[in-house]
């Protein structure tokens, strides 16, 4: 699902360079190009694909979404799930 994007105040006072971006969308294609999102197997495949291209450094920033766990527990769970077998 493509979502509207606007950087700046949540009201109509946005001005300057960022104002020209309001109303644009962040497409699923853009997210897929730069983010690892989805089920564990898909995320691992995407990380392996980037590794296979020779990428030397990847920035992995997990965003755990289980409401019953702490942030650090979610990060640990995510990293364990994505670690090579």
Selected residue with higher pLDDT from 15 and 59: 59
**Dist CA 36 CA 69 (whole Å):** 21
The helix (run of H) or strand (run of E) holding residue 76 is helix 71-82
Selected residue with higher pLDDT from 8 and 60: 60
Domain borders along the chain are 1-34, 36-85
Do residues 78 and 64 touch, judged by C-beta distance below 8 A?
yes
Do residues 50 and 58 touch, judged by C-beta distance below 8 A?
yes
pTM for the complete prediction? 0.60
Cβ partners under 8 Å of residue 25, min gap 6: 2, 3, 4, 5
Selected residue with higher pLDDT from 11 and 30: 30
What digits encode the pLDDT tens for the residues 47-79? 888 889 998 888 888 877 788 889 899 889 888
Do residues 64 and 71 touch, judged by C-beta distance below 8 A?
yes
What is the pLDDT, as a whole number, of residue 11? 52
What is the pLDDT, as a whole number, of residue 55? 86
């Amino acid at each position: 699902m493509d979502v509207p994007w606007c950087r700046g105040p949540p009201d109509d006072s946005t001005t300057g360079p960022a104002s020209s971006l309001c109303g644009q969308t962040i497409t699923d294609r853009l997210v897929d190009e730069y983010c690892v999102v989805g089920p564990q197997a898909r995320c691992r495949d995407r990380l392996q694909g980037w590794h296979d291209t020779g990428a030397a450094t990847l920035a992995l920033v997990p965003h755990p979404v289980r409401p019953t766990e702490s942030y650090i527990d979610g990060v640990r769970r995510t990293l364990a799930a994505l670690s090579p077998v």
